[in-house]
Amino acid sequence: DAGITQSPRHKVTETGTPVTLRCHQTENHRYMYWYRQDPGHGLRLIHYSYGVKDTDKGEVSDGYSVSRSKTEDFLLTLESATSSQTSVYFCAIRDRDSAYNEQFFGPGTRLTVL
C-alpha cells in the first residue's frame, strides 16, 4: 500500500464547469502522475510532477492543468469540462526507493461529464 488516496471517488458534472480532482500521498514520494483510463487506450499520461511546483505535460494534457504546492498533494483541474473528459482518472506515485521506476496507483476517480 503506497498510501495514495483520491477524492472524490465519483463525480458527475455538467459541460463547461470546472472540476478539481485531488491526489494525496503520505509517504513523501517525489514523483506523482495523473492518468486517464479509457477502453481500448489503456492508461494515458495527462501530467506529472517531479517536485513541489515542478510539473510537466504528458501525452493528453490539453484541457487539463495541475498544481503541486506541497509534496503530499497533486491536484488535477479540468478548466471547463467536456464530455470527452468523461473517464476514470488515476493518480500514481513513483517508488523513490526502487531502481525499477515502478509506479503505484490510487483507487481512481470516475468522472462523468453530462
Partner 1 sequence: AQSVTQPDIHITVSEGASLELRCNYSYGATPYLFWYVQSPGQGLQLLLKYFSGDTLVQGIKGFEAEFKRSQSSFNLRKPSVHWSDAAEYFCAKNTGGFKTIFGAGTRLFVKA
Residue 64: alpha-carbon gap to chain centroid = 10
Find the largest Cα–Cα distance for the chain.
Answer: 43
Instruction: Indicate which single residue of 47, 55, 103, 113 sits in contact with partner 1 (rule: CB under 8 A).
Output: 103
Rounded to a whole number of angstroms, the minimum distance from the CB of residue 17 to partner 1 is 25
Cell, residue 45: 499520461
First CA to last CA distance, the chain:
34
Query: Among the candidate windows 19-27, 60-68, 74-82, 99-107, which touches partner 1 by CB under 8 A?
Result: 99-107
Separation of alpha carbons 72 and 60, rounded Å: 23
Instruction: Indicate which single residue of 22, 75, 104, 112 sits in contact with partner 1 (rule: CB under 8 A).
Output: 104
Q: Which positions lie near partner 1, rule CB under 8 A? A: 31, 40-45, 48, 50, 58, 90, 94, 99-108
